[in-house]
Structure 1
Amino acid sequence: MRKKNENGAAAVEFALILPVLLLILIGIIEFSLAFNAQLSLNQAAREGARYMAIHDDTVEAATAAGNAAGRLDPSTVTTRFAFSGGATECAEDKQVTATTSYTLTTATGFLDAFTGNIVLTGKGTMQCGG
């Protein structure tokens, strides 16, 4: 009885499984960076709402929100403010909601072909008047 030649079988198996392993690795990296950006946006929105509730200055509150965005570039974070009850400024009995937005840039660029632009948003609400 002759033995079958199995030289190179491990290399073929590795070549078949490698793309799947790389896709999983890229997915883990991209998801973790997107999750970190989302957490940074939530923190930035809370900080923007807090600053607006205390100082009632839209420009400085937006700057404070951008600066609180962690690893994100402050110039890429946009912040909008809305007041409860249709108000146009902070009043003692109103709440201010800050909404931060950021267009995610992926680290590998692999997902860009499939998803296009991914816009993340964060929200924070505070009672006006501190």
Structure 2
Amino acid sequence: MPQLQSKERGAAAVEFALVLPILLLLVVGIIEFGRLYNAQIVMTNAAREAARTMAVTKDAGLAVSAAQAVAGGYTINVAPGTCTPDTQVTSTVTSQVDLLTGSWFTFGPVNLTGIGAMRCGG
């Protein structure tokens, strides 16, 4: 492989310095999107579990406990609906998820909502 002249080495360093911030921004954006997408899935599963528990047991306390168990480490607010025979119960789970880069760019937490529905009575 031929030796690069000193001017060409300097050009490569400048090109790298120009591309690196864009590459890092892209990687951090992918990581943040993945975290938020995972949190959204957790919220939806927690809402679905609350709706299922409410449809089977008709106990709002158990529905809230079931949703909190599914949510793991997230702090959630659960609003289970009421269940009457042959109707559909809907539960809503909301949470605020902090961003990893929030302190860098002064972005606040992101509000996520999960909604689950199930027919009452099994």
TM class by smaller structure: 0.7 to 0.9
Partner SS for 1:59: helix
Q: Which deviates the most, 95-104 or 105-114? A: 105-114
Question: What runs of 5+ residues in structure 2 fail to find an aligned partner?
Answer: none
| Structure 2 match to 1:48 | 50
How many pairs were matched up?
Answer: 118
Contact 2:99 2:109 in 1 (8 A): no
Higher helix share: 2
**Which residue identity does 2:96 align to in structure 1?**
T
TM score, norm. by length of structure 1 = 0.81
Q: Mark the CA change 1:118 to 1:128 in structure 2 (over 3 Å): closer, same or farther.
A: same
Q: TM-score, normalised by structure 2?
A: 0.86
Given candidates 94, 101, 110, the residue that maps to 1:118 is 110
DSSP-derived class of the 1:46 partner: helix
Any idea what SS the aligned residue of 1:68 has? helix
2:89 matched residue in structure 1: 96
Percentage of matched positions with identical amino acids: 47
Query: After the TM superposition, which parts of structure 1 deviate over 3 Å for at least 4 consecutive aligned residues?
Result: 3-7
**Alpha-carbon distance in 1 for matches of 2:87, 2:67:** 20
The amino acid across from 1:73 in the alignment is G
Give structure 1 stretches of 5+ with no counterpart: 83-88
Aligned equivalent of 1:66, options 52, 68, 73: 68
1:13-40 deviation line (CA, Å, top 9, x unaligned): 1111110000000000000010011111
